[in-house]
């Protein structure tokens, strides 16, 4: 994912594919991965083997279910 897939807008970035706006580039990258460039293999949790569609979904899963004690 790169900046060529989005445009700098007045308040952040705009997706060149669908026009969706996000406040920062990190949020735009999450949007692009989830909507326009999905990983067909997905992402698997190395702790419990749960399969997630996006890296962000995997990060949320890990922070929710595998917090360091």
Mean pLDDT of the region 5-29? 92
- pLDDT, mean of residues 25-33: 91
Query: How far apart are the C-alpha atoms of 22 and 12, rounded to whole Å?
Result: 6
Identify the three-state secondary structure at position 58. Answer: helix
Query: 39 or 54: which carries more pLDDT confidence?
Result: 54
Distance from C-alpha of 21 to C-alpha of 10, rounded to nearest angstrom: 10
Whole-model pTM: value is 0.69
Average pLDDT over residues 9-17: 92
Higher per-residue confidence, 1 vs 3:
3
Mean pLDDT over each residue of the chain, to the nearest integer: 90
């Amino acid at each position: 994912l790169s900046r060529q897939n989005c445009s700098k807008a007045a308040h952040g970035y705009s997706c060149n594919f669908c026009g969706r706006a996000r406040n920062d580039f990190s949020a735009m990258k999450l949007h692009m991965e989830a909507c326009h460039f999905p990983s067909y293999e997905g992402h698997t949790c190395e702790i419990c083997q749960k399969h997630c569609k996006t890296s962000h979904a995997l990060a949320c899963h890990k922070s929710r279910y595998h917090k360091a004690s």
